[in-house]
Every structure is written in C-alpha cells, then in structure tokens.
Structure 1
C-alpha cells in the first residue's frame, strides 16, 4: 500500500509554482535507505516526486488528457541517488574521488578540498607551495601547519577548490550562508516573449519528444537534470570545450539518453555551429560558475534575445548572490561549508551524506523546473528562467525539512533497480530512472556514449 506524498514534496511543488491539488496524485511506496542524521531520504523522495509530477503534468498538457498518477518507489530513488557509485563498465567501478579530494586536519579545524580534475590539483598544490607530484602525506603536513581559513582563501585565490569546514550556526552567520538561506528554494520567472515550444511529437509516454536541449553542464547536478529530460524524450546534446578535462566515468552514469560533442566557443567555426544549434533549441541548461559563460553571450537575457521563447535553466554551487557568488564549488565542498559535514560527523572529524544528495536532489529539482516552465509555456509561449544553487538545497535539507528524519528501512534490494546494456564503452551497468508516472518511460532509449564523439547537430 502506497503512502501519500510528504510535506517535503508539497513544499518543493509549491516552490515550483505547481497547482497544490496535484500533489494528491503522488504516492510513495517501496523500501530504500539513505542513512544519515539529516533527512536525506526525504530530500531524495521529494525531489524525485516533484520531478515525476512535473513530467506527468506536462504529459497531460501535451495530450489534453488528465494528469496520470505518480508512484515514487524508495528503492528506485535510493539507487538513483547512488547511481554515480553503482555504475559499472565491464564490471569495473568508477573512481569517485581523487587522493587529494578529502578532509584534512588544519591547525585549528578541518579543510575539505576538491582535486579530481588535474588543473584543480595543480592549483591546490601551487597554493600550498608544493611541487606538482606531492602526495597525500606531504599535503597533510602542509595543511596541518596552517589555519583552515588561510587554506581556504589561498587555494581559492590560486583558482583551486578548498573550504574550511563550518558548523551550521557558523554558516548561518556567514554572509554567504545567510544569503543562501534568504533565497527561495528555486527561481522561476518569465524573462521575455516568444513562441510556445515545438514538442509536436510529445506523448503521454515521452512528453518531451520533439524538444531540443543544449546541455552545457558538468558533474553532477546539471547532467542529472538533462539525463532526466532525455528519459522523457528530449533530444539532449551535451557540449564540452575541447581543452577542458571531463570524466568519462561520470558520463557513463549521467550520459544516458544523450549525445555529446565538443565545441570551442572562442573559435569562429565552432561558434557558428553553436549558434545554428541555438537557433532551433527549446531549452539551454548551464552548470558553470556564475559569469563563466557570459563572455560567449550565454547569459539568459542574451540567449533569449537570439532565441525568443527559450527556457534557460542554470545552476551553481553557491548561488548568484553573496560574497562567494563567483566561486567554483562542488557538492562535497557545500556539505563542508554549510555545516552538513559537522552534523554527519562523529564529533572528532567531519562526515558526509550517504550520497551526493545535494547534486542529485538539485538535479531533479532543476529538471522539474524545466518541465514546469514548458507546461507554463504551452499555448502561450514566453521565455522562462529556472535557477537553483547547491547551497540553497543544502539550507533546505538542514532547516526546511522534517527535523526527525525518515531515511528508509535500512534494507533494500539495489539489484532490482539496476540493469545492464551494451554501450560503446563495453557492458554498462546503470541505475534505472526513479522518475515514474503511469504510462511513462521505464528507461532511456540509448546508453551513454563516448564523450565528445557525436556531430554537433540535431537528430531531426
């Protein structure tokens, strides 16, 4: 017997501007577990629920029918939130964090670094005054001699990624934490005029069929959002810069249903190819730090000027407000800065959520925002902006959800929610999608492929 939707689902649906009566279409069932002190399962369940409901609502709008029922299974949700860890190629597991991506004891606290990409590793070591081949022990000694805030500021000044671990009260008093807490969970607003989206082929099964999505995102929240749009039938084309390193291992998980190409937007020919793609795009999703893409004319206002009626969805780590607005960030760093790591710690050292839940949860919220924007556009048109930040999702997790967490049964069968398929990389094991509604798709129409190997054009 399924249970009715939770208050977290109702709150997220309200933030999306949805009809509150539609929440009654959602039931939750099954067994899953994301054990933590914070209500991580509630976050996961709620974000998948509203994404599923937004997809069901769009299906009804496209077909003229009634909104189908939504059933959220905790087992599917749990497996999906762990998908980046459960994916396999020919039985081989991915490397989730590099050796220098970890917590380090500083002279007066803890520091969390992110050095998965080679350029971030080099910048971290340069900021610490260390050679590029320095290892874990040498870095530990260097960080241990310095104050946590000194490491944070020096590494960021060098273009690297490090944050001092803070408690929730300390983060609430920090200008960036206060700025994030003061924002709505997400922003949805009309930013221009324009025609309604095409989606002439939209159906109850794949309501995004006929839509074209440009995906300019990187690990992990943005790719989760665009993977979901691909599940629902959209033609999703991911675009990466030729010289920017990216993880094929991450793409094995988040590239389901998509195609992937490389374009140098600073080169005339590649820029012309991008503009041709944009001319018939329906959605653009960006996930780079604020301002990073503006020099290419990719700010929302500029995009909708060239492509009226566009839906622009963008996300960042810290948000486009406060003193950290221009800083790079990742889920693990937001957990450390926002007090989550302290809450999940053992009193002696910081801990972590059982999944990169800020990334996954924000990804499903972002997809839900796009789907709701498309529903709002149907028949009337108008360019739409959807915006989220990991730090705001973190604030919702810490303060906005139930104080007593229900994080699942503790036992569930992940194998039920995993499947295998042949792919260009080999035999690919991946999680099945948690987004589900009556008559909706049960999986993607194509597996992930090799990064950057598709031609920069729409399928049809």
Structure 2
C-alpha cells in the first residue's frame, strides 16, 4: 500500500517558518490532496522536511500548484542522477566517508584537493595514499585523536556521535530562520524591480551569489528559476569540481573575481540580494559579514548560511559531517553498529529552499517597510529541526512501488547542451517552472 504523507509535521514546520518571516500562518495545506509521501525513506522525517522546504518556496513565490513528491525526491538526490556526456561523475573522494577508529567511528570530507591534502598530512600519509591507507591509519587511533590530527592540519573530520536531545532542544529554542531588520538611513531607497511577472516574480532582482557546494547554490538556483539575475562569484584560487557546478548552477552566470577588487565593490553596490555561504569568520576577515555589508549598503537583503552556526564561526563543515556529529548517522544505522546516512543530503537542500523562501518574503517586506534585512540559518540548526520532528522506529526498507517511483527518471530529469557537453540533471522541484541550462563555472564576465 502506498504510504500517505504525515501532514502534521510538514504543516507545523511551515507554520513556524511563516511566523518567523512575519507572515500569516499557513492554512492552504491543511487538507491538501497529497498523492503520496516524498519517497525519501528514513527513520527521521526526511520526507516531511523536504516537502515543507519546497512548499515554502512555492507559497512565498505564489506558485499555487502542489509540488510532485517524486520530483522533490529526485531533486534532493540530484547528484545521483547527474550525467556528463552520458557518464555519472565520481562524486565522492576515497578520502571522504566513515572510517572506523580504535574506539568508534569518524567521518571525513576530502572532496576538494586542498582538504584531501590536509587530511593526508594530518594522518602522516603521502599525497599518493589510497583510501585503504587512510582506513588503516585511522584504525590505529582513537576517534578523538584521529579527528584532532586531521583538524589541526586544516582537514575536515568529525567524530560520529549519538544524538544529544538536550543540545538539540537548546538549538530549537532559537528560530530555524533568524531574521533581523536593519533600518536604512533617511532617504535610502532599494533598487526597484523591473517587473512583476507571476511566473517570474523576481524579474529585475540582482543576486550576488557567494556560496559553494549545495545549500547556497540550491538557494540561488531557485532565485534564478524565479526570474532573478544571479551572478555567482568565486575566488580564482579555489577551483570548483565541474560536475558540482553543473548540478546546482542552473540559470546563473558564473565569474571568477577577488572580493578585494574595485569591480567586486561595483557589483555589490548594484545588488539587491547577497547570499553568503562561507564560514562567518572568513567572511568577517574579508569585510563581507552581513553586518559589514549592511553598513555599506543598508537596503540589501542578505541570506547567510553556515555549517555550524554563529557559535562556531571558524569551523568549516558539510552536510555529511553535520549528519555524523549531530547523531543523525547513528539513528540511520543499517545494523546498530555502522553509521548510516539520510537518503539525500537533506540538510543542504532544505536549507537552500528555506533561505530562498525567506529571501522572496523579505524582498516583499523591504518593499513595504523599507530597511535592510538579514536571514541566517545553519546546517546544524536544520539538523536540530529534523531531530525534533516525529520519527519512525521501523526499518528503512523501501517498498517496490516507491523504489520504482524514485528510479523512474524520464519525467524528472532534463538534458542541456553546455559548450558542447551533454548534461542531464534533475528538473526543478517547483511545479510549472523549468530550470535553465547551467553555464560553465567561471565562464562569465563580472558584470550585471
């Protein structure tokens, strides 16, 4: 029998989001005719989190149709359906994953070359070390010692821990989306949008995208889908894996530019929205913290995403690491011993959609009330939200019909030609809207 969705958790989450954004409670979904649950099977309420996050964008943007649960699932697992010239890219480095230590487990992340090099250095291994060499080196150490050595060398690793309900409750005592209004000086006027097309409500809105990996790019990709002019800016010295940009770069232009240049300041001066996805401490060093940007440009709408939140401004992280340290990995264990994972990088994707919904809403509030606006969240805060939602105590097995729905991709993927390469990616999770082709990473000029 097809599982029906649990309306209560997703509706409750939507109500909390709407209250945070200063909007009326959501009643439109109280009796919505869902066809079935989002097929993201897990013990935690991953399906409800995904539904509510995508639905929040639809409601904020005036998209009346309900999203397709199957398409949401495919969009959340977009890295698994991406192909470049018919081939699936190697998504995970052999240095990324769960590794058993002498007294437990750790999770590492080495997908970027500089992170891989630092991880190997911390473990005393050479640049040609294989994944099995990493496994052997970690197995001889305690989890705490292995993590300390990797982190001290500038690499990324966390211990796999059980959940901490008291800490999660403390995190949930703060809003999932922290919204702050910054009054503008007298006479300060935001740049007006050029149009108000219901299918493209952000037409004329300029978005400066300073994000990487998944959550921030999903947010800015969604804004581009809704008509915004999105320019992603990356530092020239930090290359991005080509496949990763193809996965989340739809509808955006991409340029390479140092943040300390005069040209960057000119781009910033003409932006309506800035999306920040780097560590808060790194942004502060560059003069790009939300407070610094608002001081220079008081009518901006700023979305700031971090892995661990403002309490850990210097700490880098990714969805997989937050799952491991927050307790999610052990809740999703396949056998009671080995850590497991959510069926998608749901913290990333949900954070991206929730921030996009916030930006749309705050642009409208800026139009009505003036001022600048800042919205913040973190992957760890999204994890705390998920850990506080009702969960299943049953197995994670997926029924045949659900597996077929997830793997029946013809209706939920799109193919683009990008500079002679054939790219197949997940289609938009928002009903009635189609993603535009991604550009090549760094291939555009730094201009609006």
With normalisation by structure 2, the TM-score equals 0.91
Matches of 2:132 and 2:29 in 1, distance apart? 55
Q: Match of 1:168, SS?
A: coil
| Structure 1 position 356 matched with structure 2 position 351 | no
Unaligned runs of 5+ in 1: 57-67
In the alignment, is the contact (CA less than 8 A) between 2:117 and 2:127 conserved in 1? yes
In the alignment, is the contact (CA less than 8 A) between 1:122 and 1:132 conserved in 2? yes
Give runs of aligned pairs for residues 386-425 of structure 1, distance below 5 A: 386-401=375-390, 410=402, 411-412=404-405, 413-424=408-419
Question: Compared with structure 1, are the counterparts of its residues 335 and 421 closer, same or farther at alpha carbon in structure 2 (3 Å cutoff)?
Answer: same
Q: Match of 1:274, SS?
A: helix
Give runs of aligned pairs for residues 66-85 of structure 1, distance below 5 A: 69-85=64-80
How many Å apart are 1:21 and its aligned residue? Answer: 4.5
Q: Match of 1:98, SS?
A: coil
In the alignment, is the contact (CA less than 8 A) between 1:336 and 1:342 conserved in 2? yes
Q: Match of 1:326, SS?
A: coil
Matches of 2:223 and 2:55 in 1, distance apart? 15
Give runs of aligned pairs for residues 232-251 of structure 1, distance below 5 A: 232-251=226-245
Question: Could you tell me which of 170, 176, 182 is aligned with 1:185?
Answer: 176
| Structure 1 position 101 matched with structure 2 position 96 | yes
Matches of 1:425 and 1:107 in 2, distance apart? 49
Aligned counterpart, 2:41: 35
Q: Match of 1:72, SS?
A: coil
Question: Could you tell me which of 86, 90, 98 is aligned with 1:91?
Answer: 86
Give runs of aligned pairs for residues 49-448 of structure 1, distance below 5 A: 49-56=55-62, 69-169=64-164, 172=165, 180-193=171-184, 194-266=188-260, 271-321=261-311, 324-345=312-333, 346-401=335-390, 410=402, 411-412=404-405, 413-424=408-419, 426-436=421-431, 442-444=433-435, 446-448=436-438
Aligned counterpart, 2:444: 454
Matches of 1:382 and 1:165 in 2, distance apart? 43
Cα RMSD for the two superposed structures = 2.3
How many Å apart are 1:368 and its aligned residue? Answer: 0.9
In the alignment, is the contact (CA less than 8 A) between 1:42 and 1:401 conserved in 2? no
In the alignment, is the contact (CA less than 8 A) between 1:10 and 1:23 conserved in 2? no
Question: Compared with structure 1, are the counterparts of its residues 201 and 25 closer, same or farther at alpha carbon in structure 2 (3 Å cutoff)?
Answer: farther
How many Å apart are 1:53 and its aligned residue? Answer: 0.6
Matches of 1:284 and 1:234 in 2, distance apart? 12
Q: Match of 2:227, SS?
A: coil
In the alignment, is the contact (CA less than 8 A) between 1:106 and 1:145 conserved in 2? yes
Q: Match of 1:47, SS?
A: helix
Question: Compared with structure 1, are the counterparts of its residues 70 and 301 closer, same or farther at alpha carbon in structure 2 (3 Å cutoff)?
Answer: same
Aligned counterpart, 1:17: 22
With normalisation by structure 1, the TM-score equals 0.88
In the alignment, is the contact (CA less than 8 A) between 2:216 and 2:275 conserved in 1? yes
